[in-house]
Structure 1
């Protein structure tokens, strides 16, 4: 059961995680702008990648001089100054919690062991912007399309801060779109939203506000079951300045 909760930006791909896609960092600029703060506090959570060092370094480089950065490393291998495992409540002090990509299933399992979902929901209610790419997109919804188990599979175990299902990297990965359409048509996944790389969906209290793109040609789609079939409807998009 989904619950309304604050401002959430879900990205199908792009941002600092995918510099080969990113349009000059437009999505990351958009994330910072959502806070209304000149130098916001931004915490990176790389659980889905096992807190990979290269990912943390890419985050720190991308936001250097633009934000007061911190890292939450639940595997205990974070950089100096990372949020301690016995001080997870520090996420409540952030302007943005930015979640990286990787394994959605692993992310959810580890977060739940540490009680992080409840803290993140509380942070969102207090005004923290929740954002994420790929697995960091999937986690906020009730369900999603994931490759956490190797082949693409439906996952109905999301946090439920957003309604329905999600599918990132929609038209850039072979069979990603086809499998998602099949699962929604069969009822294995509930109706939801899909986003290409470089596309983000902005939600406020469970209501979709807009879809933004950082590179031309990116698209988001509303996907819903219709009888024994499925309807795929483009969502209007706004191109971000670069």
Structure 2
């Protein structure tokens, strides 16, 4: 059996991008970390139920701003058999996961075996990334409104150790609810993202944090050992 070469595993958490921002700064930063110029970029809109408007905006933005080959992986009206689905996912240089319902997305992925394919793609050097639910999914757990009120979800693909909380500065209740979940052990220590930031992990290690919004930050949130949580803001390089 042939042994595959070891490739650097790449993962990015986003607090913005094509679906929220008009300046393209986070998209440009993200694509700059793909393994090739003019990358094949696949948008996965499962968390939104494959919303047509979300898909249209992805194509409009990437075809007008970026070199490369955009595509979409729909699962609610799936057309590819298992062999073709695997070939399609593994051919991508970037897999970009959209926002929506984290819990529903994970369930659909597992039904179709997409969770296993994403792990395989990750090990082969595909850049995995996303916003909101598309950031939550890569960790061991996350902070989510998948069930209505804000709560903790001790579920995810586990490619990134710990937990993730998106929209840290923009949605009321996010900060205290996430801190409480980390403090009492409902979620492991993790990463909180303000809107407008990006965080890059190489082989599971945080290597870069950036922001397109002055003052927006990435935070490390950990139990303080006294029943509370410590929150540490990480320096973010401004994108221009």
1:192 to 187, 190, 193: 190
Which one is further off, 167-176 or 206-215?
206-215
Corresponding residue number in structure 2 for 1:34: 33
Deviation (angstroms), 1:225: 0.2
- The DSSP-based 3-state class of the residue aligned with 1:16 is coil
CA distance in 1, matches of 2:37, 2:155: 36
CA distance in 2, matches of 1:146, 1:38: 34
| Relative contact order higher in (CA < 8 Å, ≥ 6 apart) | 1
Count of equivalent residues:
229
Confirm or deny: 8 A CA contact 1:202 1:210 kept in the other structure. yes
- Equivalent residue, structure 2, for 1:203: 201
Asked if residue 229 in structure 1 is aligned to residue 228 in structure 2, the reply is yes
Q: Is the 8 A contact 1:210 1:236 kept in 2?
A: no
Partners of 2:143 and 2:178 within 8 A in 1 = yes
Match of 2:3 in 1: none
Aligned counterpart for 1:99 among listed residues 97, 100, 109:
97
TM-score by length of 1: 0.91
133-142 or 24-33, which moves further after superposition? Answer: 24-33
TM-score normalised by the chain length of structure 2: 0.92
Which of 144, 154, 157 is 1:156 aligned to? 154
RMSD across aligned positions (CA): 1.5
Partner of 2:77: 76
1:62 alignment partner in structure 2: 61
Contiguous gaps of at least 5 residues in structure 2:
1-7
Aligned to 2:20: 18
Q: Judge conservation of contact 2:143–2:164 (CA < 8 Å) in 1.
A: yes
In structure 2, distance between residues paired with 1:38 and 1:159: 28
Equivalent-residue separation in structure 2 for 1:85 and 1:74 (angstroms): 11
Structure 1: runs of 5+ lacking an equivalent: 78-82
What corresponds to 2:85 in structure 1? 88
Of residues 34-43 and 132-141 in structure 1, the stretch that sits farther from structure 2 once superposed is 34-43
Identify the residue that residue 111 of structure 2 maps to in structure 1.
113
Separation in structure 1 between the aligned mates of residue 172 and residue 77 of structure 2, nearest angstrom:
34
Q: Which structure 2 residues correspond to residues 130-141 of structure 1 after superposition, within 5 A?
A: 130-141=128-139
Task: Give the Cα separation in 2 of the matches to 1:16 and 1:35.
Answer: 16
Counterpart Cα distance in 2 of 1:6 and 1:62:
26
Deviations 1:17-65 (Å, cap 9, x if unpaired)?
113xx5x111111111111533110000000000000000010011005
Task: Tell me what 1:80 maps to.
Answer: none
Secondary structure in 1 matching 2:37 = coil
Query: Which SS does the other structure have where 2:18 is aligned?
Result: helix
Residue in 2 that maps onto 1:44: 43
